[in-house]
A and B are shown apart, each in its own frame.
Chain A
Amino acid sequence: QVQLQESGPGLVKPSETLSLICTVSGGSISSYYWSWIRQPPGKGLEWIGYIDDSGSTNYNPSLKSRVTISVDTSKNHFSLKLSSVTAADTAVYHCARLGAVILTNWFDPWGQGTLVTVSS
């Protein structure tokens, strides 16, 4: 079965760029959308964006100016970059598979998540 695992620095300085990788195992990265979702401590879930295997992306308008999601199909992983971070970007960042067929756009499965703290 498909499993996802996030990796990357747990601490980022304000104004710098947050960078994370999600490695997909147990299945191919094709035929789905691959997404990032974040969860500030004690709060709810916020969708960040997705990428498909061709590199097409779609981002949450609230974060669009600062987000870049990319994919490396040869390594079966995709990445998140969030620029100009502030303390408000402190969150657990999850990656997840998103259904790509119209109106099948739920997330399953999810990665465990990785906490990224923005602090000097």
Chain B
Amino acid sequence: EIVMTQSPATLSISPGERATLSCRASQSVSRHLAWYQQKPGQAPRLLMYGAATRATGIPARFSGSGSGTEFTLTISSLQSEDFAVYYCQQYHNWPPLTFGGGTKVEIK
């Protein structure tokens, strides 16, 4: 099973600042990585797939990078609606499909 590890667990940041979230895989997943955003009481929403391709309707301030075992999700200028929990998920080698533990982006 591929273990996904996200850091930091919590990111305290001010609106307008840049947020950088990390996701590490226990073995290479090539670029077969997705990112999701989840707000309290809501379903997760797909942000990225293929490590760097934005899903439909996702603003350009969200960008993804990385390959192999190290990945980054960057939010260039945080908006109020971006404060949420973010999860990564690998789909390179499964079953099982596996998720990271999440990074909570909170208002500083």
Contact = CB atoms under 8 A, between A and B. Distances in A.
Q: Is chain A's interface secondary structure helix, strand, loop, or mixed overall?
A: loop
Interface stretch (A8-16, A74-82, A108-116): A108-116
A44 B43 contact: no
Report, as a range, how many residues of chain B touch the other chain: 20 to 34
Contacts of B100: 44
Given A44-B101, A94-B43, A94-B44, A107 B95 contact: no
Contacts of A61: 1, 95-96
Contacts of B34: 106-107
B96 A62 contact: yes
B42 A107 contact: no
A105 B45 contact: no
Nearest to B32: A103
Interface in B64-108: 87, 89, 91-92, 94-102
A35 B43 CA distance: 14
Report, as a range, how many residues of chain A touch the other chain: 20 to 34
B104 to A, nearest CB: 11
Interface of B: 1, 32, 34, 36, 42-46, 49, 55, 87, 89, 91-92, 94-102
Interface of A: 43-47, 49, 58-62, 94, 98, 103-113
The 10 closest A-B pairs by CB, nearest first: A105-B91, A110-B43, A106-B34, A108-B46, A45-B99, A47-B97, A60-B96, A44-B101, A106-B49, A112-B43
